[in-house]
Amino acid sequence: MKLYNTLSKKKEEFVPLEEGKVRMYVCGPTVYNFIHIGNARPMIVFDTVRRYFEYKGYDVNYVSNFTDVDDKIINKAIEEGVTADEISKRYIAECKKDMEGMNVKPATTHPLATEEISGMIAMIQILMEKGYAYEKNGTVYFRTRQFKEYGKLSHKNLDDLRSGERSLLVTGEEEKEDPLDFVLWKPKKEGEPFWVSPWSEGRPGWHIECSEMSKKYLGEQIDIHAGGEDLVFPHHENEIAQSEAANGKEFAKYWLHNAFLNIDNRKMSKSLGNFRTVREISEQYDLQVLRFFMLSAHYRSPLNFSAELMEASKNGLERIVNAADNLKFLRKSADGKMTEDERRIYAGTDEFVKSFEEAMEDDFNTADAVAAVFEFVKYCNTNVGEKSSKEFLEKLFEILVKLTDVLGIVADKKDEILAEEIEKLIEERTEARKAKNYERADEIREELLEKGIILEDTREGVKWKRA
């Protein structure tokens, strides 16, 4: 399996630190509002990466945090006249709802920054003892130049940063030994939440949060650290400096970063009025469509969100779900084992599974993996019919569910109560038509249509699918 490592700027063979296990940390959102579709991309992408590792038999320890103390959270709390804790708890709950809608599996651990402060203080103390950090008026700074490999992830040169990129520097330069030094701990301002530390009543810097949470739940060394490409510098660069300075060993072997998401070919921003939350999208589309859209491009390619592309994703997803529904429908009245001809056709499915796996093994190329699923769907549609055996239909269905599950796409809609209701109404409609009560038959069709169910009268009977 090949992964593109931001650290080396090339694809590398994946070799886990411990055989059969993957330790993976993904930076989560700062919870001060509903998550936007930019937040959704890494959630979906790295959930898919995790699912593929699990598909390959790895035991994955997947940690993704919630940043629940931050200036944006505090500002929102002041604006609403409530506590920062109330804001963060509210939006963690809302975020989890959206994640469920996108079929993002809960992490093995979802640590909260506010619950790990003591560990962060301990890590800062280690950095101070080792000469990597210093305190000025209650603020603790990291000595960037002390860490000789600083810049190895973002491939930035310290001197270039010093002269040409002052906008990237942390504020408060008059106190610092060097303008490039960054904050590990900062004193509280009036009305802000705070914790007691040896230096001041205050709170940790953003970067130290992830270093500590990763260490606590995954150990001093991890296999994969992932997030959006906007985090490469300074966040991930600073994480490396802190973690490796404190622990004395390589922090993460592989760094994966997804590219940006644009809206109608423009960068998403509130000022442009093109800011889209996942919740807003859910009012127009099933969030499975959003997930399918996100996986339609390679995660390292910029992705453009538009109504046209979402419609195309909706249609593509329908093709897959309809193929699964068709296999289930035919299976209901089928029986028997595979015929010799079916065995030969079934043997041909190996090439689709192989294509799917080859795409995923090549730096998680979900676009090609989706193409392999479409080819498999076409193969199923071409080779099944009312005379197909039950075993044949079941085996094809199993492959389709197995492959789509890796992508987090639900091909098998297990809404049995609703399915029973649909079947009952279809039965009633059939009886109404036999009795020439066409008005009632039409009413049932309309009733089901309102619930998003489309009926199709065929020679084999009435088929239904979700709109």
The answer to whether residue 294 scores a pLDDT higher than 70 is: yes
pLDDT at 167: 45
pLDDT at 173: 56
The answer to whether residue 164 scores a pLDDT higher than 60 is: no
pLDDT at 174: 67
Nearest-angstrom CA–CA distance, 424 and 26: 46
Q: Looking at 190-295, list the stretches that DSSP marks H as alpha helix, in order from N- to C-terminal side.
A: 206-218, 237-247, 278-282, 287-294
Lowest mean pLDDT among 14-28, 76-90, 161-175: 161-175
Instruction: Calculate the average pLDDT of the chain.
Output: 93
The answer to whether residue 371 scores a pLDDT higher than 90 is: yes
Nearest-angstrom CA–CA distance, 107 and 99: 11
pLDDT at 421: 79
- DSSP class per residue in 407-464: TT---S---HHHHHHHHHHHHHHHHHHHTT-HHHHHHHHHHHHHTTEEEEEETTEEEE
Nearest-angstrom CA–CA distance, 361 and 359: 6
Q: Which domains does the chain have, with CATH numbers?
A: 2-258 (3.40.50.620), 307-406 (1.20.120.640), 416-466 (no CATH)
Residue 204: asked if its preceding bond is cis (omega within 30°), the reply is no
- Over residues 307-364, the pLDDT tens digits come to 999 999 999 999 999 999 999 999 988 999 999 999 999 999 999 999 999 999 999 9
Q: What stretch of H or E contains 41?
A: helix 37-55
Q: What stretch of H or E contains 13?
A: strand 10-13
pLDDT at 163: 59
- Over residues 92-126, the pLDDT tens digits come to 999 999 999 999 999 999 999 999 999 999 999 99
The answer to whether residue 440 scores a pLDDT higher than 70 is: yes
| Percent of the chain surpassing pLDDT 90 | 81
Q: How confident is the model at residue 396 (pLDDT cuts 50, 70, 90)?
A: very high
Report field, pTM of the whole predicted structure over 0.75:
yes
The answer to whether residue 165 scores a pLDDT higher than 50 is: no
* 306, two tokens: 């538009």
What's 178's DSSP letter? S
Largest separation between any pair of C-alpha atoms in the chain: 90
**Main-chain dihedrals φ then ψ at residue 51, nearest 5 degrees:** -60, -35
pLDDT at 166: 45
Average pLDDT in the 258-283 region?
86
What's 69's DSSP letter? -
